[in-house]
Structure 1
Amino acid sequence: MLFKSKFIPLAIALAFAGSASAQEVIKIGHVGPVSGPSAHLGKDNENGAKMAVEELNAKGFKIDGKPVKFVLQLEDDASDPKQGTAVAQKLVDAKVNGVIGHLNSGTSIPASKIYYDAGIPQISPATTQTKYTQQGFNSTFRVVANDAKLGSTLGSYAVGKMGAKKIAVIDDRTAYGQGVADEFIKGAKKALPGVQIVGKEFTNDKATDFNAILTTIKGKNPDLVFFGGMDSVGGPLLRQMKALGIKAKYMGGDGICTEPFAKLAGDAATNGTVICAEAGGVSPEQQKNMDDFVARYKKKYNADVQIYAPYVYDAIMTMATAMADAKSSQPAKYLPFLHKIKYQGVTGLISFDTKGDIKDGALTLYTYTDGKKTKVEVVK
């Protein structure tokens, strides 16, 4: 009679252990502000990263014919440049294979030098400041349009479609806020050389009281106010504009273009008052893919996509595809393949120019209708 042991023979157990240990583990760092005023956006990004990694692992993604396991190392930069560089060094020390992040330009730009020096590819899903990809770093990429395009598009729209002739500009002095405000002014002046910039005021990314600068602006009677900064400041700013009786239209970049903005602004975000632009957007033929992603996200997290989760998801998928193309997860080997990648993601075709900017980056213009963000049009 054959004896059937309930124990796995030692040789077989060792073979299984050897097989398991042989599977390559690929560490991807993700950095975003999951604390501080932009925590809701950072968490949205983090969720997109988790979705991508879980799906890659679930389908048994292979590199050079061998299944690999992706592992996320999640870090919080709290939208703070010093914390951003600290976590960047932490990821370098952990020998991650690649980095997705950061969200804010003010953290991405100083961190990018650290990744470049270590030879680690970085793909930002949200950084829009033009400087980010103009530093001569071959490791730096982004999957959204930059501030030059975003600001110039908004400037042109403000004077062309909204008829603005007297514009006041406020920014929060962050790399993002100041950058997008400067590009907006350039765009408005190019589209209408006679446009008047009647005021340039400054706040900071943690401010809550805007009475002094708004009182100054009210005296100049602008027909449009542009704000460069994030929703946590931009929403209360608009609320206080209304309280002071400033009837100007209100405009901003992707930093204010969120669902929470309407709650922060209260009834000041009335129909047609606000126009904002999101750095990204899909063409009609791509819309089904985006809708499918949004539905999967909603089912998984019981929450709506804020802004950049789909771009984080695509950034990770793009990085993984470059690794597969290179047959290696080693940064030095797959980095050249990122430069020539053509990946069809949920947000559209991802391909980079020589600086690392996405080619043909789209923008989506939105307004707010009954407290809900409503698409106006996609611009390329």
Structure 2
Amino acid sequence: MFMQMKLIVIAAAAAVACSQAMAQDVQVIRIGHVAPMSGAQAHFGRDNENGVLMAIDDLNSQNIVIAGKKIKWEMQGEDDAADPKQGTAVAQKLCDAKVAGVVGHLNSGTTIPASKVYNDCGIPHVTGAATNPALMKPGYNTTFRIIANDNALGAGLAYYAADALKLKKFAIIDDRTAYGQGVAEVFKKTAAAKGIQIVDEQFTTDKATDFMAILTAVKAKAPDGIFYGGMNSQAGPMLRQMEQLGMGNVRMFGGDGICTEEMTKLSGNAKALNNVVCAEGGASLVKMPGGEAWKKRYDAKYPNQYQIYGPYTYDATMVLADAMKRANSWNPKVYIPFLLKTNYKGVTANIAFEPNGELKNPAMTIYIFKDGKRVPLG
């Protein structure tokens, strides 16, 4: 009897030891995500976070092993409220938490200052939304972008305005953010070089909702089009107010910040929506390598939440994981060189980086609106 009990105790101890060993063989890797999860741009933030969460779920279904350990992937989400100071604060929080990598931020105005924080603590971040070219100027080896920058967006829109639509006069309005000013400046310079006259320049903020005074001043200059550098939370109401002022025939141009179907709701379904021309730094969903299949899965999981950047944040998460797998390490010091050598077949594109972290061969798509829906040209 004593011997039998002894064997039971030994077996139980062995089971506990085995269980502990198995537990020790599981390694949690946390990926940070930052975007505005509150405020006027929260709809963009939710979309971005959804893309990361989809990638995390897909990674966990693959039973990935790195350095002999089964990996459990987790996301640590943070809200920067589209505010540069809050952006650097949450970047430091992610550094202190020792996340393995970061997807974000959404806005250039938060991403640029946060990039220094990530560089100082040696954690790579991949943005699928921040498009200001100045992001790459410091030359940090921790900064990566998987979407076309404003040089492509602003210039492409100016060429379309001049060559395809033969527009002659434009007014420029921007929201004074790094993104809004940046894309507006590129459009302005390229449009002027193409012979388009810039008849007025006005400024607003990314919190404004009343644009009547600005638009009244612009109307007096009789432009063929207005280029708005900013986000849809301002462009939508601005479009509605343009219609109220009898400017429904004036084209509104803008970058990816206004290039969402949320514009339909934000503009009150204004008829002037049919005069919007916008650009996105990537292929349209139907032309992305995995766009349509991915979108079906997204809509099933997050109905009516898709905006624009979800597939890019999904790919950004996968690119980080791919580099860790190839490096056989989640230590940023070890896997950052592998990140730079990325050659990943993503949902959005075949992703590879230039030496400065920019996406190689980025696509750019121009859209118009028909019956409240975004329609790609070409």
**Which of residues 274, 283, 286 in structure 2 aligns to 1:281?**
283
- Inter-partner Cα distance in structure 2 for 1:271 and 1:264: 10
Pair 8,166 (structure 1): closer, same or farther in 2 beyond 3 Å: farther
Does 164-173 or 16-25 show the bigger shift?
Answer: 16-25
Q: Which residue number in structure 2 is paired with residue 151 of structure 1?
A: 154
State whether structure 2 residue 97 is matched by structure 1 residue 94: yes
State the secondary structure of the residue aligned to 1:73: strand
Q: Which residue number in structure 2 is paired with residue 334 of structure 1?
A: 335
**Paired residues of 2:368 and 2:376 also in contact (CA < 8 A):** yes
- Inter-partner Cα distance in structure 2 for 1:286 and 1:184: 26
Amino acid at match of 2:49: E
**1:10-159 to 2 correspondences below 5 Å:** 10-159=13-162
- Inter-partner Cα distance in structure 1 for 2:198 and 2:375: 28
Amino acid at match of 1:59: Q
Does 226-235 or 356-365 show the bigger shift?
Answer: 356-365
- Inter-partner Cα distance in structure 2 for 1:264 and 1:196: 29
Amino acid at match of 1:293: W
- Inter-partner Cα distance in structure 1 for 2:332 and 2:297: 30
Deviation readout 1:226-273 (Å, 9 max, x if unpaired)? 100000001101110111112311111000011111111124344641
**Paired residues of 1:351 and 1:359 also in contact (CA < 8 A):** yes
- Inter-partner Cα distance in structure 1 for 2:285 and 2:130: 21
**1:288-303 to 2 correspondences below 5 Å:** 289-303=290-304
State the secondary structure of the residue aligned to 2:24: helix
Identity fraction in percent? 51
Structure 1 stretches of 4+ with a deviation exceeding 6 A read: 1-5
**1:199-278 to 2 correspondences below 5 Å:** 199-246=200-247, 247-270=249-272, 272-278=274-280
Deviation readout 1:135-184 (Å, 9 max, x if unpaired)? 11111001100001111111111111121110001000000000000011
Q: Which residue number in structure 1 is paired with residue 347 of structure 2?
A: 346
- Inter-partner Cα distance in structure 1 for 2:44 and 2:81: 11
- Inter-partner Cα distance in structure 1 for 2:302 and 2:168: 44
By how many angstroms is 1:127 displaced?
Answer: 0.5
Pair 376,269 (structure 1): closer, same or farther in 2 beyond 3 Å: farther
CA RMSD of aligned residues (A): 2.0
- Inter-partner Cα distance in structure 2 for 1:166 and 1:34: 37
By how many angstroms is 1:10 displaced?
Answer: 2.3
- Inter-partner Cα distance in structure 2 for 1:269 and 1:172: 24
By how many angstroms is 1:372 displaced?
Answer: 1.3
Pair 319,34 (structure 1): closer, same or farther in 2 beyond 3 Å: same
Consecutive unaligned residues of structure 1, counting only runs of 5 or more, are: none
- Inter-partner Cα distance in structure 2 for 1:296 and 1:368: 24
- Inter-partner Cα distance in structure 2 for 1:169 and 1:73: 38
**Paired residues of 2:136 and 2:357 also in contact (CA < 8 A):** yes
Pair 13,35 (structure 1): closer, same or farther in 2 beyond 3 Å: same
State the secondary structure of the residue aligned to 1:28: strand
**Paired residues of 2:43 and 2:305 also in contact (CA < 8 A):** no
Q: Which residue number in structure 2 is paired with residue 311 of structure 1?
A: 312
Amino acid at match of 1:266: G
